[in-house]
Structure 1
Amino acid sequence: MAALAPPVAALRVAVRRALTGVPGPGPVLVACSGGADSLALAAATAFVAPRLGRPAGLVTVDHALQAGSDERAAAVVRWARTVGLDPAEQIRVDVTGRPGGPEAAARQARYEALVAVARRHRAAAVLLGHTRDDQAETVLLALARGAGPRGLAGMPPVRDLDGVTLLRPLLDTSREETRKACAALGLTPWEDPHNADPSYARARVRADVLPVLVQALGPGVLDNLARTARLVAADTAALDGLATAALDRVRCADGGLAVAGLAGLVPAVRTRVLHSWARELGAPPAALSHRHVAALDALVTTWHGQGPVHLPGAVEVTRRDGRLVPGKSAG
């Protein structure tokens, strides 16, 4: 018997770790574009899941942004069925008319489709093929945007999205390993031209920025960026827990927040409290920015009689009688 290629073994170990302890009897679904990362993940899941007594399937999302995308999606589904992934489905989405740039629109449409399919099949989890390299790119992009700790924490290995569990088993696996695993298994990945299109920020980071960093600082820079994300994520989770408890303490019976209680919180906790509260009031998370939270914070820390703060979603917050009081904007 031929020896198992180390990259194939490494991916199977990563998938086994991710699937161990997943609750419920439902299947796990691999989101697979046909690229090396998700294809290697799907192959590893097809091997590991049955040995854990877990059914496994595949879903491929066709964004209809390139000629022949439907044929490529169909080919992924056909391959999935040959390795025992069932159900195996292709889902076509419409990305037109969505807010943000094309990357954001495609991502939103893709996740909506994955959640819908997962619910339909009562899936225990959806597996995503993001690698260590993707995590490093995410951290660099967050730094460039001036993102706070939540952005620098990168992509979590486990996430709940609208009641669906998303797993990223390959965050400690390099992109090179997934390519080697595909080669060892005789799989031919699809090369998405968008990944090399310089009009996309992530593609520029991948093609231009990361190679320069590796050349200047050594190959360990990718691991270090991914490790930074893990460390920041742990700190962020701890601060989020403190903020959740603090929000309960400063609530008033009328739905407002007590200014005195807010003023006694350290800034890192207070701004998280204000951010969470603004979302509770109906401010859309995608539109709620640091500027909005800073304006709310100013009602607490630099109060001089200023008027209300207007938040996205037609939400208005006023300071009155020692409280932050929510309301609706007139417009």
Structure 2
Amino acid sequence: MTAVEAEVEERRGRLHPAVARVREAVRTALAELPRETTVLVACSGGADSLALAAATAFEAPKLGLRAGAVIVDHGLQADSAHTAEIAADQCRSLGLDPVQVRAVEVGTEGGPEGAARTARYDALRDAADEFGADVVLLAHTRDDQAETVLLGLARGSGARSLAGMAPMAGLLRRPLLEVPRSATAAACIASGLRPWHDPHNDDPTYRRVRVRHEVLPILEEALGPGVTEALARTAGLLRADADALDALAADLAETSVRRTGDEVLCDVGMLEAEPAALRTRVLRQAALEAGCRSTDLTAGHVAAVDELVTDWRGQRWIDLPQGVRALRRAGFIVLR
């Protein structure tokens, strides 16, 4: 279905509900952008990203925006280059321009999923720089959000992790976080698009796949329908709380943390009077500033540093990732 045909169907009230739902989500996400803004869709060729690409191709011109697509070829399968070109051809047929395939080399840091994600996001940011795009649209759905929350729960993560994926994060936007995966699949069928099915999405080696095909169905069976929606709704509620706490912690850090040479100093007197939710956020950020990587710094590490503030019994120091050491000295937690 071409854009013109789709608009005629929409005016006649015969537009498929799934197509209408995806378009509405995209229209809402793009509505406040200035005219002439360039928007890129990250498209893998799967149902979610193809539905997003089609909706963007339809909505962006009506808002005076320029819309293109980027297909990241991770090179993890023998026919990945061919698959990427098929996705690019479909994006071009939708009227998106520019459309570019970017091949990346996936490393090993952070495990298979983390390394692929890092390579993909780096490629998307590079493409945005090249084309002068202010926004990159990602096709994560409500189901993806629910899976993210469950994975965070399994890790014993805090509110920020359980808040899931943000609708907006820098140049990245996720218009479909309130749209179920079933709607994107139906939208592709209604629009005559041919989605590619990634075999990795059925590989139980990946934790997210096990959550998708094993854990969520069991929860739905045991607790009744609506678990996915409830998990996604929980993420939204926790995100609001986490944003508020992060803002308060940032204010506290302004007065309680300072850097001197290669050391980060946290004022014990100021921190010990604050709630743990703020104090631990400040200490975690201080550890990151001292050189710890966020992927390696655990809640256990932060709790151990917090004990130097709240339960100091003469402990000598705490060893943190990347060779960072935390110790208490002259009324300060010193990280170096």
TM, length-normalised to structure 1:
0.94
- How far did 1:132 drift? 0.4
Report the more deviating stretch, 273-282 or 223-232.
273-282
Q: CA deviation at 1:316?
A: 2.2
Unaligned runs of 5+ in 2: 1-7
Identify if the C-alpha distance between structure 1 residues 246 and 221 changes in structure 2 by more than 3 Å, giving closer, same or farther.
same
**Mind listing any 5+ residue stretches in structure 1 that lack a counterpart?**
none
Matched, 1:72 2:83: yes
> Is 1:138 the equivalent of 2:145?
no
**Cross-structure match for 1:181:** 187
**2:117, 2:240 → 1: CA distance?**
25
1:35 aligned partner: 46
Maintained 8 Å contact 1:213/1:221: yes
Q: 1:213-238, CA deviations, whole angstroms, 9 ceiling, x for partnerless residues?
A: 22222221111110000001100001
In 2, distance between residues paired with 1:311 and 1:27? 42
Q: CA deviation at 1:76?
A: 1.1
Q: Over aligned residue pairs, what C-alpha RMSD do you find?
A: 1.4
Task: Give runs of aligned pairs for residues 87-236 of structure 1, distance below 5 A.
Answer: 87-96=98-107, 98-160=108-170, 165-236=171-242
1:323 equivalenced with 2:332 (yes/no): yes
The offset of 1:315, in angstroms, is: 2.2
- State whether structure 2 residue 317 is matched by structure 1 residue 305: no
Tell me how far apart the structure 2 counterparts of residues 65 and 256 of structure 1 sit (CA, whole Å). Answer: 44
* Aligned partner letter, 2:328: R
Tell me how far apart the structure 1 counterparts of residues 298 and 259 of structure 2 sit (CA, whole Å). Answer: 27
Taking the aligned partners of 1:26 and 1:166, their CA distance within structure 2 comes to 14
- Equivalent position SS for 1:317: strand
Please state if 1:244 is matched with 2:283: no
Amino acid at match of 2:132: R
Preserved contact between residue 35 and residue 64 of structure 2 (Cα < 8 Å)? no
Task: For residue 70 of structure 1, give the secondary structure of its aligned residue in structure 2.
Answer: helix
Indicate the SS of the match to 1:325.
strand
CA distance 1:105–1:253, change in 2 (3 Å): closer
The range that moved more, 212-221 or 229-238, is 212-221
Q: C-alpha separation between the residues in 2 aligned to 1:55 and 1:253?
A: 44
The residue that corresponds to 2:71 in the other structure is 60
Is the CA contact (8 Å cut-off) linking 1:25 and 1:54 kept in structure 2?
yes
CA contact (8 A) 2:293 2:322 kept: yes
Q: Is the 8 A contact 2:266 2:283 kept in 1?
A: no
Aligned to 1:22: 33
Of the structure 1 ranges 34-43 and 78-87, higher mean CA displacement relative to structure 2 is found in 78-87
The one-letter code matched in structure 2 to 1:122 is G
Q: Report the secondary structure of 1:133's partner residue.
A: helix
**For the Cα contact (< 8 Å) 2:36–2:64, is it kept in 1?**
no
User: What secondary structure sits across from 2:335 in the alignment?
Assistant: strand
- Provide Cα deviations, 1:145-180, integer angstroms capped at 9, x if missing partner: 1111111101110112xxxx1000000000000011
Q: Which residue of 2 aligns with 1:269?
A: 278
Describe the superposition over 1:16-36 as per-residue Cα deviations: whole angstroms up to 9, x where unpaired: 110122358431100010100
- CA distance in 2: counterparts of 1:36 and 1:220, whole angstroms: 22
Quote how far apart the aligned CAs of 1:204 are.
0.9
Return the match for 2:288 from 276, 279, 284: 279
Which deviates more from structure 2 when the two are superposed, residues 5-14 or residues 24-33?
Answer: 24-33
Contact 1:153 1:231 (8 Å CA) reproduced: yes
- Structure 1 counterpart of 2:16, which letter? A
Q: Which whole-Å deviations, capped at 9, do the CAs of 1:97-134 have from their partners, x for residues lacking one?
A: x2132111111111111111111112111000000001
User: In structure 1, what is the Cα distance between the partners aligned to 2:226 and 2:297?
Assistant: 35
SS across alignment from 1:129: coil
Following the alignment from structure 1 to structure 2, what is the Cα–Cα distance between the partners of residues 216 and 306? 47
Q: CA deviation at 1:326?
A: 2.9
Paired residues of 2:151 and 2:208 also in contact (CA < 8 A): yes
After TM superposition, the score normalised by the length of structure 2 is: 0.92
Greater Cα offset, 118-127 or 235-244: 118-127
Residue type matched to 2:23 in 1? R
Cα deviation, residue 252, structure 1: 4.8
Report the AA paired with residue 139 of structure 1. V
Contact 1:22 1:124 in 2 (8 A): no
- What percent identity do the matched residue pairs reach? 53
